[in-house]
Structure 1
C-alpha cells in the first residue's frame, strides 16, 4: 500500500490526536507528509534535526492505528524519558529493558497482547533476544520505529554493531512498515540505513538541518574556565551542558564550578549506573544548572530548556558535534553553542581516534577529525559549513555565528577555485586533497607520475602558491560546498552541483585567510553591555516575573510527581502562558503545548498562579455573591471545573491586550486585519474576542455566524442533548463550523440573546 492510500479520516484523526494529546494545532513542516506516508503503510526514512519533532512522526500514527508500535531505542534513559512524556500526554506506553523487573515485563507483555498498549520501547538487544521476536508474532504490531538509526552504519559517528542485525525485521514481518529516524546522517549513513534495514522502496524525508536559533561560536582555548564562569555569570538561570574529552576533566571542571557557587554535576562512563542515573535525574529535574560530561551523556535526553552547550575540547567529528549542540534550544528559542579550540586538542584527539583501530577505520576517523578542525578554523559562515557537510545549501550567510558578526577580509577566489575544480575534473575526480594540491603545484612525486597526472593541462597551474595556502583554500571550497569527500572511494574529492556552477563561470567564489577572532572593539563591547543591561531590566517586567513564578510551580509539581519539569510543560509553553495570561479552560487549551490530558492534570493550578500574580480590580462584597446574570461560564465542554473569587474579579474586565483587540473589532476590522495590525496570531485574536463576548461585551456576531448558522447549531445541540460536548457537536455538524464559531454560538445561547 502506498502513502497515497492513507485515508482522509486517518489524517483527520492524526490532526485531532495532535491537539488532544500534545496541545498543538498544526504539524511542524514535513511532519504531516511523513505521517501520511506511515499511515499509508510505506517504509519511511526520516532525517530531521534534534528538536525538529521526529518522535511525533511515529507517535501520532501509533496512536491512531490499530495495534502496537514497537520502538527500537539504544538507551535506557531515552526510553524512560519518552515513555514518561507519552504518559503525561495521556498515551499508553511502556518500555522493556534491563531496568524492568520480570513481573513488570509480564504485565507489559500482557498489555501488548491485549491491544491496550500503543507504544512499546525496547533495546535492539532485547528485540533480538531469544523468544522476543517470537512473542511479537503474537502481537498486533502496527509498525516498527528504529530511533537513532544512524547507529546502523559503520561510516557513522555512533556505530552500534547490534543495530546491523535489525534487517531481520523485514524477514520476520514482511508486511509491517518500518520507520527509520535520525538527526545526523551523512550521505553514506543514509545509504546504509536503507540497505541494511532491507527497506522496500522507502520514502525519504530530508528536513533542513538548519537550527537557526543556535548561535554558533568558536573561541581560543586559553583560560577556558574563566570564559565559562563569565558566560554562566551572564546567564545565571540558564541550564547548560559542558562536554569534555576526559573523565578527569569532567570532575575537575564540575568541582571548580561548584566552588564558585554554581549547581554543577558531572557524568561519565567511569561512574556506577546509579551515580550516572542520579546526576542525570538532577539535571533533568532542574536541581543542577550545569552538567559536565563526556559524550556518554545526552543521546535522546529530551530536556527542552537547555539554553547552551559548550565543548571544552574539540569533538572528533562534525556529526557528533552537530548532535551534541542540538541538545540546546530544543524548544525553538535562542540558544548558544560555544566551542573552545586549540591545536593541542587536535593532536590529542588524533592520537585517540587512530589508536587500536583497524587502518581503514583510523583513516576514516582522521579524515572526519580534519573536517572538524576545518570547521573550528573556518573563516566563513559556520552554519553554512555545517549544512554543506549534510549536503544542504543555506544560500546565504546566517548572521548568527561569530564569523558573520565579525567577518574577515575576503578576495575574489573564483580563478583559484576553477583551477582546483578543473584539476579534479581532469583526474576523473579520483584524487584526494593532498594529491590534488601536488598536481596544482606541479610536484613530481611517485603518485603524480605513476598516474600520468603530470600530463594534465592543469598540472602546475597553481605553482605560485605554497602548500599551506592551497590547503587552506581547498578546505574553504569543501566548507563552501564546492566539493565533498567520497570516503568510500579512497577519500577522493567529488565536485558538487554548486562546484560545477563555479567551474562553468556561473557563480563567483570569495576566499578568505583564517584569522583568529579579534577582540571586540569598544562599540561592540558597549552594545553588548547595553544588551545585557536591557536583558537585566527585562527580567523585572511583569511577564518575566510571571514566567519565573510558573517555572517554580512547574518545578514543584514535577518534584511531587517524580518527572522532569519539561514533561509538565516546556519553557516555550510557559512563556506563552506568561504572555497571554490564560485564566479559563478555553484560553488555556489555546496555548500551544497544552493538550486535554495536561489541562486536566495541571491546568487549574497554572490558572490559579496566573490569577494570583495579577492585580484584579477590587470587587465590593455584595457583588461577589451576585455574578452578572448575562455573563455565563464557558460552554459545557470547556467550562472551568470551579471559579475562584479572584477569577470572578479578573473576569469583570478585559486585560489590556484583549481590550485593544476588542476596540479594533468594534471599529470594523476583521480578525485577520486585527492580527496583521497587532502582529499577533489569528487564533490569539479569536481568543480575545471570545473572552470579551463571554464577559458581556457585544461583538459584531454576524461577521462570524449568520442567523441560519445559529439556528443550525442550536438544532444540533437540541438533538444531541445537554450532555453533549463541543467535540460531539463538531463531529455531528460534519466539521462545518470551527470550535471558535461553536463556542460563540454556545455563549450566545446562554446569554439568551
Structure 2
C-alpha cells in the first residue's frame, strides 16, 4: 500500500467520523443516548485499527515499503541513517496516535486542494476586512500591546459595579491589564476582537464576564468536549449557570429548553455543532439575547497553525448570520500569519487586536538527553518518600507514540507511582476515566500522546515532561502551556535523542503541497534549534511567535537550564567569554560545506556532501572525486560537519526541503549563503559568526581533549546521539569538591527573612490539612478540588487564617459564592486548629498608607512615594517581600524585563535593591562600570547597545540596566551639551574599577551570601510561609509537594518510620516547597495586587 493511498484512506475515514458525529449532534430525538453514540465512535476506532494493521500486510504494505526504500537506497537523505534504520522507523507507523495522524492527513489534503484557490480567496477576504501586512493599511484597529508602565487605573472601569460582579463571581478585586479593555470593547462598544493571551493570563474571563454581568447569554465555541465539560463544571462551582451542547450531551432536548428559557449565562458548543445550529442561535438571540460569540483556541482556524480543524474554517458563517453580535477570537498560540488568517477566515469586521505577549515567566525550561532506560531517566525528576517515588506535584508526560506511552506507564507503575495512560487507541470510557482521575488528584501522573493536547483544565500542574522530541515548536508551546496556570513556578522538561525527528520528517515528506510541506518542516527545524541551543531557550521559543526585541529576555536563574548554568559559572569565576553564548567564526568550515553542497548539485541531504568533504571511498561519491572540494574537509569529523550543517540551517544559510514520498529531505544553499560566498571571494575578511549548538560545542570540546587536557568543562553524560551538552563544574576547580548546592551558591539564591520555626511548621501542617479538607469537600460535592479552592487560596488561608466570612472574602481568587458554599467548613477547621495550637487568626497585612507606624516602612515611605504605583508594587514584592523576579512578573502579569525596569527606577530614587538577586555578580558589576566610564562610552547612559558592544556576550541588557541604575544612584545623571544623558562628575580613580579575582569570588560564593544590606531594618512579616533553599542540582526544585491522598500517605509512612526523637527534631525544619514561598510575605500595598489566576 503506497503511503498516498493510506493517507487518502485515513482522510476518508476521518471525514466519515466527523459526518457521523455531526449527524448525531443535529438529531433532535431523545432516544440517542450516550452509550449508542459511544458505540458509534468505538466502531470507527475499530476501522482505524484495521487501516493501521493494513500497513503490515505482507502482501501490500511491507513489500511496498521495501520496494520504496530500495529505490531510494542510494539517495537516503536522513542524516546518518541507513535504509534499514529508516525501515525500522517506518514499520512503527501502526504505533502512531491516529488522532494526530488524521489531522496531518486532513491538513495535507486541505492544503493541496487550497493551494491554487486559497490565496485568491484569502486576498478577497483580506480586502473585505481590510487586513493587510501593514497595520496602517489594515482593517485591524487599535492593535494593543501591554504598556507595563501605564498606571494600573487605566486598566480598570470607572463604574465600581463591574468590580462588584467580578469579586462576587470570580473572586478578584480588579481586572488584569488588557482584560477590561477587551471586555469593554465587546460589551459596550460591540466590536470584534482577536486576542492573543499567554496561558494563565486570564483570557477565559474576557468571554465569561460579559453575560454574567448582563444576565444574557454568550456562545463559546470550544474544540474539545472534555475541555467544555471541565469549564462548565468549574463555572457551576461559582454559581454561574452554564451548559454544553455536543455529541456527549445525553439530555439535549432538556438542555435546549432550559437554554431558551434564559437559564444559562454561557453555552459551550463544538465547532461542528455551531455551524449546524444557526436556527437555534437565532431563536436564542430573540428569546434571551446573545452578548457575544467567543471562539476559544482560535488558532485551530488557520491551516498554518499546529491544531488545524476543518470545522473551525467554516465558522466564518457566524459573522454572516449574526453581523451585529461581536465575535471574540482568543488563543494563546498564534504567529502573525496565523493572526491574519484568523481575522480573515472568521470574517471579523475591523477587529481590535490585543497581544499580551507569549512569555510564561513562571515556567522553567529544561532539556536533557534520553538514554533509553525510562525508569532511570524519570527518577532524576522524582523524589523518594520512604520506599516510594513520586513527583513534586501533578505531572503530564507527553510521548510521541502509544507504544512509548504504555512503556512509560509500565515503568512508573514499577516505581509505584499512581498514573494512567491516555491515547487515541484507548476506549472513550478509559480516556474519560484517566482524565477525571487526574483532575480529581486520584492519580499524580497522566502519560499521554498529543491526543491529550488542549483537553485539560487543571491549573496546578507542576511539571510537563516530553519523553521524546515534540513534533514542532507550536505544539510544544501549546503542551507546556498546561503547566503552572495558577501562576506558581513549574518545570517543563524535554528528554530526547536525535533519532526522534526521523519519523516526523518522514510524515512531512508525505504532504502533497510543497508550500505546506515547507511550513511544517520549518516548525520542526525551530523545535530542533530550541533543543540544541546553548543560549537562552526562552528567547529561542519566543522568537518564533514574537518579532520584537527579545534582548531583555532570559539571563535569570529561573529562566532555563542554559541561563542557570551560565549564572553558576559566572559566580565560580569561569571564563564565560569562551562559553556557549560566544559566537564563533566558522567561515572556513562554512565555505567548504557550501561548496560541497553546490558541487553535489543541491540534490542530497547533508550525508552525501559530507562524504565528499571527507574524501570517502564509497561508490556513491566517486563521481565527485575529480572536484577539488573532494577530501577538503578531512580536518573535521563527520559528526562535526553534520552539526555545523544543522546550525547553518537554523541560521538561514541552508534550506532543508522535504521530498514528497521520499525518505528524509534535501539541503540546498540559500541566497543568503550565495551572497556570503560572493563576498568571501572578494575579501578574506568576510566572517561568518554563529552561536555553537550543543553538538558543535561537544565536537569542539572533543577536539580540544585530543590536544590538551581540559579541566574547566566536560560533558556530564555520554550523549553521542543527542544535541544536548550538560557541562558540570570540574572537581579541580577548587581544593574541595563542588557540590550541587555550591553550584548555585547563596549569592544567586533568593533570600528570605528569618521566621519562627514553630510558625513555619504549624502553617505547613495547616496547609496539608486544608488540602485534605478540600479533598473531602470534593468527594461530597462532586466538584474537582481546584474548582473548590486553588492551592494559592489554601496557602493564603494557612498564612492569614481568616476567622469570619468577611475576612475570608479578603482572599483573592475566592469569590463570594464559594465563600457561601464551601467557606464554613474551611473556617470551622481553621478555628479548631488555631485554638489547639494557640495560633493568632486574621493576620492580614495592613495597607501601605497605614504603615507609617512601622519604623521599617516609615523610613522609606517618602521615597516610595517618589515612584509610580506600579513601580512601587514591584519594588515591595521583590525587595521587601523577597519574592523572586520571575514570581513578581508572573503574579503581576508583566514581563521580567519590565519588573527589572521598575526596580531600576526605584534604585535611581535612592531605594536599595539586592542586585545579586538580579544575577549581577561583583565581577559583572565591575565590568559594566568599567565599560561605562571608559571610552568610547565615556559615562554616557543613553544607549545600552553602545555599552553592550564593549562587554562579553554573557552580560545581558538587564544586567546593564541594573548597573546603570546603581551608578545613577551613586553619581546622579545629567544632560551634556549634545543633549545626551550621562553620569554626573568624572570617572572614579582607576584603581576603584578593577576586575574581581575569580578565585577570590569563588571562595566567597562558597562561604557566604553577599547581600546589600539596606540602611533601614528589614520589614518583619507578621507570619509567613518558609522559603525552601535552592536545590542541589541545576534544575529548580520549586515544585509543589504532593497533595493527593496517595502522596500524603507516602509522607506519613516516611514520618512513621522515624523515631520520636527524629520526628521531633525534624519538625522544626519542615518547610513548604519553594513555589509556596510566592504567597508569603505579602506586604503593605496601596491597593490590592492583581492576581495571575484568571485562567478558567
Structure 1 length-normalised TM: 0.71
Match of 1:390 among 541, 545, 559: 545
Match of 2:176 among 28, 35, 42: 28
Q: Which residue of 1 aligns with 2:471?
A: 316
**Distance in 1 separating the partners of 2:155 and 2:468:** 51
**Distance in 2 separating the partners of 1:566 and 1:372:** 33
Q: Say which SS state the counterpart of residue 594 (structure 1) adopts.
A: coil
Deviations 1:406-463 (A, max 9, x none): 247147649889x99xxxxxxxxxxxxx9x9987989467689xxxxxxxxxxx9xx9
Deviations 1:478-533 (A, max 9, x none): 79xxx9x9xxxx999899xxxxxxxxxxxx9872342433353453524489999x
Q: Which residue of 2 aligns with 1:525?
A: 740
Please report the RMSD computed on the Cα atoms of aligned residues, expressed in angstroms. Answer: 4.4
Q: Is residue 2:273 matched to residue 1:126? A: yes
Q: Say which SS state the counterpart of residue 343 (structure 2) adopts.
A: helix
Q: Which residue of 2 aligns with 1:577?
A: 797
Q: Is residue 2:349 matched to residue 1:200? A: yes
Aligned-pair distance for 1:10?
8.4
Aligned-pair distance for 1:608?
1.9
Comparing 209-218 with 19-28, which one deviates more in the overlay? 19-28
Q: Which residue of 2 aligns with 1:430?
A: none
Q: Which residue of 2 aligns with 1:111?
A: 258
Q: Which residue of 2 aligns with 1:346?
A: 501
**Distance in 1 separating the partners of 2:486 and 2:739:** 29
Aligned-pair distance for 1:370?
1.8
Q: Is residue 2:378 matched to residue 1:231? A: no
Q: Which residue of 2 aligns with 1:665?
A: 853
Deviations 1:243-283 (A, max 9, x none): 01111221221122112111111111111111110110000
Q: Is residue 2:727 matched to residue 1:512? A: no
Q: Is the 8 A contact 1:308 1:328 kept in 2?
A: yes
Match of 2:223 among 74, 78, 89: 74
Q: Residues 243, 236 of structure 1: CA spacing in aligned structure 2 closer, same or farther, 3 A cutoff? A: closer
Q: Say which SS state the counterpart of residue 51 (structure 1) adopts.
A: coil
Comparing 71-80 with 31-40, which one deviates more in the overlay? 31-40
Q: Where do 1:270-281 residues align within 5 Å?
A: 270-281=425-436
Structure 1 unpaired stretches of 5+: 421-433, 449-459, 496-507, 619-648, 682-687, 690-737, 741-753
**Distance in 2 separating the partners of 1:597 and 1:338:** 38
**Distance in 1 separating the partners of 2:585 and 2:393:** 47
**Distance in 1 separating the partners of 2:244 and 2:345:** 25
Q: Which residue of 2 aligns with 1:548?
A: 768
Q: Is the 8 A contact 2:770 2:794 kept in 1?
A: yes
Q: Which residue of 2 aligns with 1:402?
A: 561
Aligned-pair distance for 1:371?
1.5
**Distance in 2 separating the partners of 1:437 and 1:43:** 54
Q: Say which SS state the counterpart of residue 347 (structure 2) adopts.
A: coil
Q: Say which SS state the counterpart of residue 380 (structure 2) adopts.
A: helix
Q: Which residue of 2 aligns with 1:19?
A: 167
Q: Where do 1:442-591 residues align within 5 Å?
A: 443=598, 471-474=645-648, 477=651, 511-514=691-694, 515=697, 516-521=724-729, 523-527=738-742, 541-591=761-811
Aligned-pair distance for 1:150?
0.6
**Distance in 1 separating the partners of 2:253 and 2:396:** 37
Aligned-pair distance for 1:362?
3.6
Aligned-pair distance for 1:219?
0.4
Q: Which residue of 1 aligns with 2:815?
A: 595
Q: Residues 358, 289 of structure 1: CA spacing in aligned structure 2 closer, same or farther, 3 A cutoff? A: same
Q: Residues 137, 27 of structure 1: CA spacing in aligned structure 2 closer, same or farther, 3 A cutoff? A: closer
Q: Which residue of 2 aligns with 1:289?
A: 444
Aligned-pair distance for 1:83?
1.0
Q: Residues 143, 594 of structure 1: CA spacing in aligned structure 2 closer, same or farther, 3 A cutoff? A: same
Q: Point out which structure has higher relative CO (alpha carbons under 8 A, 6+ apart).
A: 2
**Distance in 1 separating the partners of 2:860 and 2:171:** 23
Q: Is the 8 A contact 2:585 2:690 kept in 1?
A: no
Q: Which residue of 2 aligns with 1:336?
A: 491
Q: Say which SS state the counterpart of residue 45 (structure 1) adopts.
A: strand
**Distance in 2 separating the partners of 1:666 and 1:52:** 35
Q: Residues 524, 334 of structure 1: CA spacing in aligned structure 2 closer, same or farther, 3 A cutoff? A: farther
Aligned-pair distance for 1:8?
9.4
Q: Is the 8 A contact 1:354 1:365 kept in 2?
A: no
Aligned-pair distance for 1:138?
3.5
Q: Which residue of 1 aligns with 2:399?
A: 244
Deviations 1:722-746 (A, max 9, x none): xxxxxxxxxxxxxxxx999xxxxxx
Q: Residues 163, 542 of structure 1: CA spacing in aligned structure 2 closer, same or farther, 3 A cutoff? A: same
**Distance in 1 separating the partners of 2:668 and 2:252:** 48
Q: Where do 1:157-196 residues align within 5 Å?
A: 157-196=306-345
Q: Residues 10, 152 of structure 1: CA spacing in aligned structure 2 closer, same or farther, 3 A cutoff? A: farther
Q: Is the 8 A contact 2:368 2:495 kept in 1?
A: yes
Q: Residues 178, 671 of structure 1: CA spacing in aligned structure 2 closer, same or farther, 3 A cutoff? A: farther
Deviations 1:82-104 (A, max 9, x none): 11111111212111111222xx3
Aligned-pair distance for 1:113?
2.6
Deviations 1:346-387 (A, max 9, x none): 113222443466554443323321221111111110000111
Moved over 6 A (4+): 1-4, 6-10, 414-417, 436-442, 444-448, 463-467, 490-495, 528-532, 537-540, 656-664, 666-672
Q: Which residue of 1 aligns with 2:979?
A: none
Q: Say which SS state the counterpart of residue 168 (structure 1) adopts.
A: helix
Name the count of aligned residue pairs.
Answer: 603
Q: Is the 8 A contact 2:535 2:580 kept in 1?
A: no
**Distance in 2 separating the partners of 1:230 and 1:185:** 33
Deviations 1:563-585 (A, max 9, x none): 21111111122122222222222
Q: Residues 661, 156 of structure 1: CA spacing in aligned structure 2 closer, same or farther, 3 A cutoff? A: closer
Q: Residues 263, 491 of structure 1: CA spacing in aligned structure 2 closer, same or farther, 3 A cutoff? A: farther
Q: Residues 669, 444 of structure 1: CA spacing in aligned structure 2 closer, same or farther, 3 A cutoff? A: closer
Q: Say which SS state the counterpart of residue 275 (structure 1) adopts.
A: helix
Q: Which residue of 2 aligns with 1:153?
A: 302
Q: Is the 8 A contact 1:14 1:60 kept in 2?
A: no
**Distance in 1 separating the partners of 2:810 and 2:532:** 46
Aligned-pair distance for 1:105?
2.7
Q: Say which SS state the counterpart of residue 231 (structure 1) adopts.
A: coil
Q: Is the 8 A contact 2:259 2:284 kept in 1?
A: no
Q: Residues 662, 48 of structure 1: CA spacing in aligned structure 2 closer, same or farther, 3 A cutoff? A: closer
Q: Is the 8 A contact 2:851 2:857 kept in 1?
A: no
Structure 2 unpaired stretches of 5+: 1-139, 144-153, 385-389, 567-575, 604-628, 658-666, 673-687, 698-723, 730-736, 865-872, 884-1020, 1023-1085, 1089-1096
**Distance in 2 separating the partners of 1:80 and 1:678:** 42
Aligned-pair distance for 1:404?
1.0
Q: Residues 438, 10 of structure 1: CA spacing in aligned structure 2 closer, same or farther, 3 A cutoff? A: farther
Q: Which residue of 1 aligns with 2:367?
A: 218
Q: Residues 669, 595 of structure 1: CA spacing in aligned structure 2 closer, same or farther, 3 A cutoff? A: same
Q: Is the 8 A contact 1:153 1:159 kept in 2?
A: yes
Comparing 590-599 with 115-124, which one deviates more in the overlay? 115-124
**Distance in 1 separating the partners of 2:450 and 2:290:** 34
Comparing 139-148 with 364-373, which one deviates more in the overlay? 364-373
Aligned-pair distance for 1:473?
4.7
